[in-house]
Amino acid sequence: MSYNPSGRHAQPSWDGSPQTPPWGSTPAPPQQQQQYGYPQQEYPPQYPQQQQYPQQQQQPPWQQDPAQSGQWQPTVHGTAQWQRNNAGPTPDDRRWAYLRHSAGTSLRGTNALHVTRSLERLSSRQQPLAPHGLTLFFVVEAPSQHLGFQVLSASRWGYSGPEYDNLVAFLTGMKATAETFIAQHEKKKRVWDPRDPDFLMVNVGDIQRSDTPARFVGLGVETLNTDSRQWYEVVPVLQSSGISSLQAMSYVPGEGAIRLVDGSEIRVVRDETRTGRGNDLICNMPLDATQIYSVTQNVPEKMGVQLRQAWPAFLDLARTLQNHLNPDGQVW
């Protein structure tokens, strides 16, 4: 069977028709068992319990002092104190907001590329890729770029197999690899670089070390397994439909998460079939430095089942890398 049959708009047979997709209707997310000993975390509610507003007799509510009236005020992170006094964003506020947004869009692009590369390997009968990947983020000085810096990303994809197909096992294995390389370098009083060809942890993206020093700023994880579709269930349908690898990006959703050294947590969603794309990126800190108020998001609460269960293992790996590569959390 030809992988790309003739025709300009080859699509899966279920697209554009009321028929149920070959894998059936979208089931409710299964309650998966805990894996590898990681307990399911309980997360605090997204918003504090709102208090009843006291009745004001002397002045209109908008003239009352919020501190005296007892009204709840939006949570504002310490890196954006200008929001309390309307002094305007500082240069650091602008840099961090731009960094968060850049890292999120970069991971979403990596997840889309993951789809195309996986299908290309399947069509050429090469060893298939696993549905999960890691991305390390670095910052280098770039006076000609916006705000004077550039975000680099280097990713790790693995071949399909038990150690890579299970997300928790994948993250746990990467942590063990990182700890081994870190221990070897610390004995020589050196700092390990995950892009070092002799101790390589990444294989896709900006893996070439430049002359300009790069500073580690965070870690991301992305997956082609979502609550609506599992990668290995979608592959046979895509292959039988004969759509191209580029077209497949529109039919295979993805998800990811990022942890930066300042404590920023970002959830990334890539789903081209959704009508609204306003929540493609959510963060527990501002993604736009000009926002007067930024509602704090509980990022793990918004994740899909598999990514949420793997979140503790992901945080362990992120802390391991940060403690060695950027223990002070300095970026600028």
- At 223-272, the pLDDT tens digits run 999 988 899 998 888 888 888 877 888 888 999 999 999 999 999 999 86
Report yes or no: 231 and 67 within 8 Å, Cβ to Cβ. Answer: no
Quick check: is 161 in a domain? yes
Q: Smallest Cα–Cα separation from 220: which of 132, 137, 309, 313? A: 137
Closest among 104, 137, 98, 188 to 321, alpha carbons compared: 137
Which residue range is the domain that position 120 belongs to? 86-325
Q: Is residue 55 part of a domain?
A: no
Smallest CA-to-CA distance from 289 within 91, 84, 152, 140 is with: 91
Give SS3 for 184.
helix
Domain count of the fold of the chain: 1
Is residue 330 in some structural domain?
Answer: no
- Within-domain flag for 6: no
Residue 228 lies in a domain: yes
Can you give the pLDDT at residue 86?
Answer: 60
Establish if 331 belongs to a structural domain.
no
Whether 140 maps to a domain, the answer reads yes
102-117 per-position pLDDT tens digit: 999 999 999 999 999 9
State which H helix or E strand residue 236 sits in: helix 231-241
Inter-residue contact 5 to 242 (CB < 8 Å): yes
- What is the arrangement of strands in the sheet containing 214-223, beginning at the earlier edge strand? 204-205, 149-159, 129-141, 214-223, 254-260, 265-270, 281-283
Within a domain: 64: no
Give residue-wise pLDDT tens across range 33-67: 444 444 555 545 544 454 454 444 444 444 444 44
- pTM exceeds 0.75: no
